[in-house]
Structures are given as C-alpha cells and as structure tokens.
Amino acid sequence: MNDVFKIFMKFQRRIGQLALMADTLKVQEILNSEHGIQLSLDEIRMFQGRGPKLFSIGIIELWATKHPQKALACAALAWRDTISWQKFIGVDILQLFLDEARKTLQNLNRDALNGMLPEGPGKAYALDLAEAATDPYSLAKGILAVVHPAERATRLKALAQGWPDPETAAEWARQNLSGGEKTAFYSHVGYKLAEQNPQAALKVLAEIKVEIIDLKGYCIAPQAASQIMNELELPGTYAFTLGAMMRGLVESGGQGQQVAELIATSDLNKRQRARLISELVRRWVRQDADATIAWVNTLTAPEDVRAAIPLLVSQLDSDRVSRRVEAYLKSPDPAMELALIEAAAPDLYFDPQKSRLILDPIISKDPGLKLRSSKAYENEGQSDLRDLIARRAYEIYEERGRCDGEDLNDWLRAEAEVKSSVMAKKPRTVEGKGATREEVLWKSVIRTAKRQAEIGPPADAMEWLDKLPFASKRDYAKAVGAVLTVWKLKSPIEAVEWLRNSALDIILKSVLQKIVQQ
C-alpha cells in the first residue's frame, strides 16, 4: 500500500473513533487540528446522533465538500490502492468525492479538475468522471476510438458511472456497444437506472439474460457455451447488475416478488444466488415484511436459508424475532441455528437488544457450551480477511503489469485464493462458510457486546459478558477487551475504573491496561 492510501485509511479509522467519543469538545478539537474540518458542537452532536456508520459517512462527505482539492488529490493518488477496498464497501471514492466537491465547486468540469489534480494513478479516471457528468457524448465519442481493451474498459466504466441520465446512458450502450462491453456498461449504470426507472432496469436485465441464452443456443456443446460465458463474465455480470439494482427495484420500485422470480429462474452458482437472496431480503423486508417472510418460508436448500435468515431476522421487530427463535427451539435445525446466530450480528449496524433475543436462548439451551476465542475470528477476523483479500488483489494487479480494467477479476481471484487458504487451515468448518459453529457464535457474541457498548452504557455490555459461559479467563478477557476498546473512547476514566475493580488476575489486567492506555 502506498503512503497516500495509508493516510486515507487512517483518516477513516480516526473518524470511526470520533463517532464514539462522548467529549464533543475534544471531537471538535481533533477534527480541526488533525483534518482541518471545523464543526460546531451542535453539528457534531447531530452527526453522532445518527450512529457510528452515518457519522463516518457524513464526516467523510463533509471533508470532500469543505476541502475538495485535498480530498480529490488524495483519492486520485491512492486510486489503485483503493480499488479493492472500494469493491467491498460498494462506493467509488473518486465519484463520491466529485459529487461532494461540486457542492463547493459548481463548475467542476474536466478542464477545471485537470488544473487541480496532481499527476497520479487515478487522475485520468477522475477526469473522465468529470467529463461524463458535464459532456457525456463528447467523452463517449472519444472512448469509441480507443483500441486498447483495458483502457477502453476503464474509461467506459467512468462514462457509465458519471453519466447523469442513466436511461440515456443505457440507450447509448444499446446502440454503440455489444457483447461483454455492453453488459459491463449496464452493470455500472444499473444502480442509478433502477433508482430512476425500475422498468428500464428490468429491460436491461432481460437483455443480459437473452445474451446468455443466445450463447447457449449458439454452442452445440454445453461445456463450450459455459467456457465462452465465463470468458465474457456474463453470469457474474448478470448477478452483479441485479445486485446493484436491488435497492431501486425492490425498495423504490416495489418489485420484490419479481426479483425473487428472477433469482429462481436465473442460471446462478451457489455463491451468486446466496448473495442475491441476502440482498433481496435486506431490501424487501423494509418494503413488505409479510411478503418477505412468506417467500423466505418457501426456501428449502440449507444454503438459501443461511443466506436469507440473517438480514431478514435482524430487521424484524422484537416480537417477530422472538417467535422465529421459539419456532427453532421447538424444532431444532443446524442450518437454522447457524443462520440465527449470524442474524444476531449481521454485517450491518444492528440493535444489540434484538441480538440478545437470539443469542441468550440459544446459549441457554446448551448447558455444556463454552465460548472459546479463535485466531481466525479475533478482532473480528472478517476485517483481517478483507485486508488479506485487498492485498492479494493488488499483488495480482502488479503481476499483470499494473494494467487497468480487470479490477473485478483481480478481486474475485484474490477472494477465492485467500478464502481457500484460510479454510484449508481450519478444522470442522461449516459448509460454505469456512467457520465452525463455535467460531460463528464467538463472533456474534463479541460483535453484540461491542455494539451494545457503542449505543448504550458499556457497563451493561460487561454485565452481560459476566453471565456468559466462557471457557477460560483468557477467553473472557478477550471479550472484555473488545468492549474496552469502545469504552475508552466514550469515557476513559470509567473504563480505567472498571478495570481496576474487576476480578481478573494481575496478568490479564496488565494486558487489558494497554488497551485503555493506547
């Protein structure tokens, strides 16, 4: 990773810490002294009231609005290093910063941006994004003259993402592109298209599906058709595009049932299907909880249940959560148990009180249970896994000679390699997830305790941990350490006082003391 990317990531982590600090005066001082962001105490309290995630997003957007040249320069210089990271969070950093910068610099066209940005890896991409927003047809004409495939792919992505009118953009692609280029363009324009015109988005999906069907009909041998489709990445592009369109189709367009039918009738592998089911449930339950529950109840394959339950249950009201857990306790099922444990701590911000409605009964029903930490899941091992994937994706990029345009392939290959390596080292893994049941439970317990400390009194989280059946004092101390990392930000004095009065032995106390003193 280059130094600029490290600075950007450090900035993001620091903002996450500030979201939890109760001393708003100190938050104000740090924002000003470290990042040059000046906010009133009322503005800070308003941002913090939205929760840690929205606080972080709000401050990062504000940074780009108040210091557009600095933010854009940082993003452009670190562009190659942030590509893999951006795939995970689902945000194009340069696009985000350009959108925010225009609030301050309203005439931010290609020429103006060219004079602002230093020479760096992402400058050309940023300039294309700026031109796409102000003069898309001019940029489109220039791109059609590009011969080099990788350069052409990167510039088409910028055109699709920056074009203000996604319906017009899709029509341009329909008239001027073909094959994999057209479907890739559709995938990049899909999010905005579904938000503005769900029916136009469904038309695009149908076109991609027809392309897949035509290829199957063209090839006599199914194996040959599969090979060609994989080379063009058509199945993956279809799944990615449908996923990108999910919010617009389901939440805005009310097309939840139709999307469910698309998933059922599409040629998807297990991983693609699981991701789409999870995303559909997350969106649909907000729009029509009863219809979502009815559809989920029709799923029978264990992997489909595992995909649907976590983001469904985590967004239901407390009564429905309790009923779902009670139904499981009356008729235990391993797949449902794992899905419920994951529902207690999904990869979204969640209500820890509802999490405990799931975890407490499951833990109580197993009198022999002992919660043990795992190296694979310490410090919320998924974060470590993301870092490993991001590093490997960048290595692959360098191995290819640093040619742009294949970033998605680099990420997918890196993800497959890293996960395969991790799973090979882990015994008794849960099918399809690369984690044992004990590891999944440990992760949900720790994340729930941390979340409880973030939105309420950390002492309440500690009281809950005191009642849980940890395998050893060391395991208990590791769980406590997760809460202390939050508590030291909210109230360092209280955190020190709790640790001083705890019953932990002197060795474990000394280890935890380092956390509150950092």
Examine the fold and report which residue of 277, 298, 319 is the final residue of a domain before the chain moves on. Answer: 298
Mean pLDDT, residues 164-168 taken together? 96
Residue 119 in this model has a pLDDT that exceeds 70? yes
Number of separate domains in the chain? 2
Considering the domain boundaries, does residue 55 fall inside one? no
Considering the domain boundaries, does residue 328 fall inside one? no
Greater confidence (221 vs 127) lies with 127
Of 121-125, 369-373, 398-402, the one with minimum mean pLDDT is: 398-402
DSSP string for 178-210: -HHHHHHHHHHHHHHHHHH-HHHHHHHHHHHHH
Tell me the whole-structure pTM to 2 decimals.
0.74
Q: Which residue is listed with tokens 């935890």?
A: 512
Residue 8 pLDDT:
64
Residue 304 in this model has a pLDDT that exceeds 90? yes
Residue 510 pLDDT:
84
Mean pLDDT, residues 370-384 taken together? 59
Provide the domain limits for residue 292.
Answer: 165-298
Question: What confidence tens digit (pLDDT) does each residue in 18-55 have?
Answer: 888 888 899 889 888 887 778 888 888 888 877 777 78
Q: Which residue is listed with tokens 């957007």?
A: 61
| Token duo for residue 299 | 């799923």
As a whole number of angstroms, the distance between CA 247 and CA 189 comes to 13
Considering the domain boundaries, does residue 178 fall inside one? yes
**For residue 266, what are the CA distances in angstroms to 175, 180, 272, 476?**
25, 18, 10, 46
The values of phi and psi at residue 253, to 5°, are -95, -10
Question: What confidence tens digit (pLDDT) does each residue in 210-254 have?
Answer: 876 554 444 444 444 444 334 434 447 788 889 989 999 999 899
As a whole number of angstroms, the distance between CA 347 and CA 447 comes to 10
Examine the fold and report which residue of 279, 298, 317 is the final residue of a domain before the chain moves on. Answer: 298
Name the strand (E) or helix (H) holding 108: none
Considering the domain boundaries, does residue 8 fall inside one? no
Residue 378 in this model has a pLDDT that exceeds 50? no
Residues 244/275, Cβ–Cβ less than 8 Å: no
Give the chain's radius of gyration (CA, Å).
24
The values of phi and psi at residue 231, to 5°, are -65, -40
Residues 435/377, Cβ–Cβ less than 8 Å: yes
Examine the fold and report which residue of 298, 314, 336 is the final residue of a domain before the chain moves on. Answer: 298
As a whole number of angstroms, the distance between CA 334 and CA 341 comes to 11
- Give which of 106, 285, 287 is closest to 198, Cα–Cα: 287
Considering the domain boundaries, does residue 245 fall inside one? yes
Q: 3-state DSSP: the chain helix, strand, coil percent, rounded to 5? A: 75, 0, 25
| Neighbouring-strand partners of residue 371 | 470
Mean pLDDT, residues 444-463 taken together? 94
CA dihedral of 79, 83, 84, 87, whole degrees rounded to 10: 140
Name the strand (E) or helix (H) holding 349: none
Considering the domain boundaries, does residue 359 fall inside one? no
As a whole number of angstroms, the distance between CA 116 and CA 131 comes to 15
Considering the domain boundaries, does residue 22 fall inside one? no
Residue 213 pLDDT:
56
Question: Could you give the maximum distance between any two Cα atoms of the chain, in Å?
Answer: 75
As a whole number of angstroms, the distance between CA 291 and CA 250 comes to 12
164-167 CB contacts, 8 Å cutoff, 24+ apart: 164/133, 164/136, 166/192, 166/193, 166/195, 166/196, 166/197, 167/193, 167/196, 167/197, 167/200
Burial 115-146 (b: 16+ CB within 10 A, else e): ebbeebbbbbbbbbbbbbbbebeebbeebeee
Considering the domain boundaries, does residue 40 fall inside one? no
Question: What confidence tens digit (pLDDT) does each residue in 188-216 have?
Answer: 899 999 999 999 999 999 988 887 655 44
Q: C-alpha angle with apex 74: 69 to 79, nearest 5 degrees? A: 125
